[in-house]
A = this chain, B = another copy of it.
Amino acid sequence: MKVEAVVLANGEYPTAPLPLQILADAPYVVCCDGGADEYIRNGHTPNLIIGDGDSISEENRKKYGHLLHRIAEQETNDQTKAVNYLLSQGKRRIAIVGATGKREDHTLGNISLLMDYMRAGADVRTYTDHGIFIPCRNTCTFTCQPGQQVSIINFNARKLHGLGLVYPLSDFTNWWQGTLNECIGTEFTIEAEGEYLVFLNFPQPLPQSTH
């Protein structure tokens, strides 16, 4: 998808090539509060900083105060405020980076929230240092590399069935039951009725040919 905006959340700043590339290519970057500090330290200027400004450095709050969009309500986290803001501006195709890698409850929350963003109409993916989370509804097909590892996390889907995966799927309910699957070819399909989350582990580099 052609990303319209990138949300830099306030987990660990990305280090893997793909999320860094997405951030570098972004036409519009919203930083979540303290996440702005490292983005600025890396020589960039956010288009917008979302949050209540309590975790950004004093210096950056002064210098970039005009970019700070304060949303006082406490019911949602900064990642959600950023996505909601983008949706209100008509930006639907959103990539999220920096959403994981610190407190595990924040990681769980940020990943789980992808389902809400999909329901709100966003075409959204989270790129971590290890792979890509894609919220899905009903039957979906993905391109992949042979041997690429994939995990499916069920939310409310029934009649789950995988085509092109090493292990078939079932109507599992516990998260781990769909983890650690593997692609057979260059495409796989998940047949389902309902919502689930796909994690595509970044493919390992192919062995160099010796010819």
Contact = CB atoms under 8 A, between A and B. Distances in A.
Dominant secondary structure at the A interface? mixed
A142 interface: no
A179 interface: yes
Contacts of A106: 179
Interface residues of A, number: 31
A112 B199 CA distance: 16
A54 interface: no
A112 B176 contact: yes
Interface stretch (A33-41, A95-103, A183-191): A95-103
A73 interface: no
A112 B174 contact: yes
A109 B130 CA distance: 15
Contacts of A151: 105, 108-109
A112 B180 CA distance: 14
A176 B131 contact: no
Most buried by B among A105, A155, A174: A105
Contacts of A175: 108-109, 111-112
A196 B103 CA distance: 18
A-B pairs with the 9 shortest C-beta distances?
A112-B175, A105-B151, A109-B176, A109-B179, A105-B199, A103-B130, A112-B176, A105-B179, A108-B175
